[in-house]
A and B are shown apart, each in its own frame.
Chain A
Amino acid sequence: DTEVTQTPKHLVMGMTNKKSLKCEQHMGHRAMYWYKQKAKKPPELMFVYSYEKLSINESVPSRFSPECPNSSLLNLHLHALQPEDSALYLCASSQVSGIDRQYFGPGTRLTVL
């Protein structure tokens, strides 16, 4: 089973709201990722967690705050977003090594009003 689940599927929020995106995998993977994907563009890496520690932060604005509570869960906390942050937010996971296959979840479609 190579399933990564994400909730919610859709989210609409105002610029003053605080919301969270959730991701879960039960494949025993120790690396988890957040990507942002705009329409007709490839995914852009935002954050990587390895063994529940933040390994890569691709200079993402602080209004995006990741959290990895345990090896199966990954959250992305959102606060004071801008309309240009509207996108598909994808979670992925892999075994710990950088050479391992990354498996993506279905994504959360975020709209910021």
Chain B
Amino acid sequence: QKEVEQDPGPLSVPEGAIVSLNCTYSNSAFQYFMWYRQYSRKGPELLMYTYSSGNKEDGRFTAQVDKSSKYISLFIRDSQPSDSATYLCASSDGSNYKLTFGKGTLLTVNP
């Protein structure tokens, strides 16, 4: 079992929809959780960074971590075509420099 599981999709939604992207993880030592957005043929861009459980909001994006169920979520409100990208979740236990990535979910927002 991979340490971070993420449904690769693809996920296709109409413009304006609320998008929910999810990951699960198995390593109880993970405390730091990230979401990266990667456009085609570009480098990953850090969207959200959270520590431990709880919610974090930044504009249209909300990251949620539930450590009791080992579940990580990213919500995108009022989705736009410019949100079309691959979204990667990543986790770390903070003891070294290693991030454990999910496989990434390919999202398409249709105008």
Give A residues with C-beta under 8 Å from B. Answer: 2, 4, 6, 31, 33, 40-43, 45, 48, 50, 55-56, 88, 90, 94, 97-99, 101-107, 109
With A41-B103, A56-B97, A97-B94 already in contact, 10 other A-B pairs whose C-beta atoms are closer than 8 Å:
A41-B104, A42-B103, A43-B101, A45-B97, A88-B43, A99-B51, A99-B92, A102-B46, A104-B46, A107-B42
Chain B contact residues, majority secondary structure: loop
Chain B, residue nearest A45 (CB): B98
- A45–B43 CA distance with the chains assembled, in angstroms: 14
Give B residues with C-beta under 8 Å from A. Answer: 8, 31-32, 34, 36, 41-46, 49, 51, 88, 92, 94-99, 101-104
Q: Which residue of A48, A99, A106 is within 8 Å of B43 (Cβ)?
A: A106
Judge whether B103 and A101 touch: CB under 8 Å: no
Contacts A41-B103, A99-B92; A48 near B97 (Cβ below 8 A): yes
- A15–B88 CA distance with the chains assembled, in angstroms: 32
Q: Which residue of A4, A40, A99 is within 8 Å of B32 (Cβ)?
A: A99
Min Cβ gap B43→A in Å is: 4
Q: Which residues of A contact B46 (CB under 8 A)?
A: 2, 101-104
Chain B, residue nearest A107 (CB): B43
Chain A, residue nearest B32 (CB): A99
Min Cβ gap B45→A in Å is: 7
Min Cβ gap B36→A in Å is: 8
Min Cβ gap B8→A in Å is: 8
Judge whether A101 and B41 touch: CB under 8 Å: no
Judge whether B42 and A94 touch: CB under 8 Å: no
Min Cβ gap A76→B in Å is: 15
